[in-house]
Each structure stands twice: as C-alpha cells, then as structure tokens.
C-alpha cells in the first residue's frame, strides 16, 4: 500500500493550512472520512480516530454554542495520536480551543472554501486512489475514442510503435512500458503511469520521447479507466485465431473482469488502424450492436431461404 501524508492531501486539494505547518508529514492510513457530529455531543464509543476529521457547518455551529471549557474538552478527546488532521469546510475558522487541542497533539488544521459534501467526496476519492491496492502491468496504456485500452504483448511486438501512431492520429497516451492499475470501485479499474515515466514513450532506434513536448498537452492524460485489453501476438505456424470474434476473452485485474481481444500481428499490418477499429467495435457492442450476431442472423436467414 502506498504511503499518503497530510501534505499530499493539502497539495492535491489546495487546502489552506490554518495551523500545524510542522505536522504535515503525519500519515493517512484510510480513505474513509469522518464527520464527528456524535462525538461533539459526547458519544465516543465508536470514534474512528484514524480518519481525517471533517467539520462542516453543523459541527462548527454546535461547537460554537459550547463554553470554552466544554469545547477544549471535546477537542482534546477528538485529537488522538492516530488522527491525521482536522479539516474545516466553507472557509470556517476553528475556535481557539480547537487550535490549542490540535497543537497539543501535533495535529494540523486545514481549511477549504468548498462545501462539506464536495470536500468529503474529493478527499475520499483522492485517498482511495492513493491507498488502493495496485498491480503493475507491462504494456502501453492509451485513450482511444474515450476508451482506455491496455496494449500488451511480447517485447518487440510493436506496442509502443502502435501507440505512437495512435497519438499522431489524435489519441492520448497514459503510460508506456509499465502501467500502474488500481481498483477505483467494485466495477472499475483505473490506470496511470509511474511518476518517472509520465508523458514518456520508448521507440526502438529513437530512444525516449517526451510526447507532451512533441505533440502538446492534448496528447497525454494522467489517468484513465481501463475498458479493454488488446493482446498483440505474433503469428506462428499452427496458430488458430477466432475469425468471427464470437469468443469473448476475459482477464481478471484485481477481481474485476476486463474484456480482452487477441490481435494476430504480421509483417506489414497497420496495427494502429486495427486498434482503432477494435475500440469502435467494442463501443458499438456496448451500445447493443454486434456485427458477429448480425452476420450469424444473416447466415441463418440465407440458409433458410435456400432450403425453401
């Protein structure tokens, strides 16, 4: 599991540090966010102390109705050794007692102008992406017609060259050589490039190419959902391939089933064109049109007509 610090949350969501600049290296171990409404009323039986504590308008208003001693007591009970940070939404400024209790326990207090619900969602999405289990796949990850395609195959089969041609055709690169995949939710896998490889692609004979420098910011993307795996396989004697495309291949990635297509590769083929067509055909199938099914129906009708 990747390590996430409060500093990462501050930088990604552009949060304001109200107090505790020296405590931004505190670790965050869960993507769950807590709104400590019950705890503010004094009920601490199930206090999730390891979560980021988010104070919305309701929590801040309730705290403001307390006496100074009551506020300090409650905030001290909230400020545990495991608590990563206190966050106040809607540009609310915490009471002095909150700052005192947080400072006593080395907890930073952060602020944001956005609404509590939106802030909670943004923090949870960021933390889930950073803390989720990850796997690395060898391949090239590109966005083609809005779909995330992971191009895989043996070394030297032409994955990067096909990706470069796709980029020239207006599609976008997410990652070359190594793709970091993580589970966004029960049905979704997202992928991105390791930081050291972002925007870079290796072409045999040319070396490393910076795609954003050569083709502009529109030619790259930081992250994308994985929709389809395309496996490039050199044609060898005795190979049999599905000519009609009726057999649906599936590959499991972190318990999520991802459709997979095996594309035979021969000398002289335009692989990038085949990948573009594969993407369009995959989208058509998802919209309810299946050319294989249409062909089968037409063939059945032809046999029926000829038998009459």
Task: Give the catalytic positions in this structure.
Answer: 138, 159, 177, 243
Binding-site residue numbers are 153-160, 202
Start-end of H helices in 47-149: 57-64, 68-78, 96-104, 116-131
Residue with tokens 């896998």: 189
Phi (first) and psi of residue 280, to 5 degrees:
-65, -40
Select from 185, 175, 174, 183 the least CA-distant residue to 253.
183
Reduced to 3 states (helix: H, G, I; strand: E, B; else coil), residue 120 is helix
Q: Please enumerate, as own/partner, the contacts of 92-97 that have beta carbons within 8 Å and a separation of 24 or more.
A: 92/55, 92/57, 92/60, 93/18, 94/18, 94/19, 94/55, 94/60, 95/63, 95/64, 95/71, 96/68, 97/68, 97/71, 97/72
């Amino acid at each position: 599991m990747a390590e996430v610090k409060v500093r990462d949350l501050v930088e990604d969501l552009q949060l304001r540090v109200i107090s505790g600049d020296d405590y931004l290296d505190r670790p965050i171990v869960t993507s769950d966010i807590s709104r400590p409404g019950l705890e503010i009323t004094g009920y601490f039986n199930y206090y999730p102390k390891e979560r980021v504590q988010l104070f919305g308008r309701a929590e801040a208003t309730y705290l403001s109705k307390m006496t100074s001693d009551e506020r300090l007591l409650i905030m001290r009970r909230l400020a545990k050794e495991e608590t990563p940070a206190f966050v106040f939404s809607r540009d609310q400024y915490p009471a002095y007692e909150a700052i005192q209790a947080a400072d006593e326990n080395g907890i930073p207090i952060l602020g944001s102008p956005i609404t509590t619900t939106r802030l909670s969602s943004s923090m949870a999405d960021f933390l889930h992406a950073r803390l989720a289990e990850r796997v690395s796949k060898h391949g090239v990850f590109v966005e083609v017609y809005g779909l995330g395609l992971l191009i895989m195959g043996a070394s030297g089969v032409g994955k990067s060259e096909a990706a470069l041609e796709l980029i020239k055709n207006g599609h976008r690169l997410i990652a070359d050589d190594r793709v970091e995949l993580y589970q966004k939710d029960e049905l979704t896998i997202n992928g991105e490039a390791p930081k050291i490889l972002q925007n870079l692609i290796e072409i045999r004979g040319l070396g490393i190419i910076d795609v954003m420098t050569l083709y502009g910011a529109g030619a790259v993307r930081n992250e994308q959902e994985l929709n389809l795996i395309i496996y490039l396989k050199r044609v060898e004697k005795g190979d049999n391939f599905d000519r009609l495309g009726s057999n649906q291949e599936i590959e499991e990635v972190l318990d999520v089933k991802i459709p997979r297509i095996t594309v035979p590769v021969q000398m002289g083929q335009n692989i990038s064109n085949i990948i573009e067509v594969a993407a369009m055909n995959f989208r058509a199938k998802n919209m309810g049109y299946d050319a294989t099914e249409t062909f089968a129906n037409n063939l059945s009708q032809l046999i029926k007509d000829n038998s009459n």
